[in-house]
Amino acid sequence: MAEYDVDLFVIGGGSGGVRAARIAAGYGARVVVAEEYRMGGTCVIRGCVPKKLFVIGSHVHQEIEDAAGFGWSIGDVSFDWATLVANKDKEIARLEGAYTTNVEKSGARIVKTRAVLEDAHTIRLGTGETVTAKYILIATGGAPNHGPAIPGIEHVISSNEAFHLKELPKRIVIQGGGYIALEFAGIFAGYGSDVTVVYRGENILRGFDEDVRKHVRAEMEKRGITIITGCTVTKVDKHGRDFTSHLSGGSSIASDQVMFAIGRHPNVANLGLETAGVAINPANGGIQVDGWSKTSADNIYAIGDVTHRTNLTPVAIREGHAFADTVFGKRPVQVDHATIPTAVFSQPEVGTVGLTEEEARTQFSHIDVYKADFRPIKATMSGRDTRVLMKLVVDGLSDRVLGCHIVGDCAAEITQAVAIAVKMKATKADFDATVALHPTASEELVTMRTPTARHVRQAAE
Positions marked active-site = 438
Quote the DSSP letter at residue 240. T
3 state DSSP class of 110 = strand
Q: Which residues contact 436 (CB under 8 A, 6 or more apart)?
A: 443, 446, 447
The contacts of residue 337 (CB under 8 Å, 6+ apart) are 309, 310, 315
Contact indicator for 404, 397 with CB cutoff of 8 Å: no
Per-residue DSSP letters for 316-385? Answer: HHHHHHHHHHHHTSS-------SS--EEE--SS-EEEEE--HHHHHHH-SEEEEEEEEE--HHHHHH---
∠ CA 211-394-354, nearest 5°, is 65
Contacts of 272 (CB under 8 A, 6+ apart): 116, 117, 118, 124
Tell me if 371 sits within 8 A of 390, measured CB to CB.
yes
Least Cα distance to 309 among 295, 324, 299, 298 occurs for 295
**Cα→Cα distances 196→157, 182, 255, Å:** 15, 10, 9
DSSP bridge partners of 301: 137, 294
CA neighbor of 109 nearest in space, from 45, 2, 13 = 13
CB within 8 Å of 422: residues ≥ 6 apart: 339, 353, 354, 401, 402, 403, 404
Where does 212-251 show beta strands of DSSP type E? Answer: 226-229, 233-239, 242-247
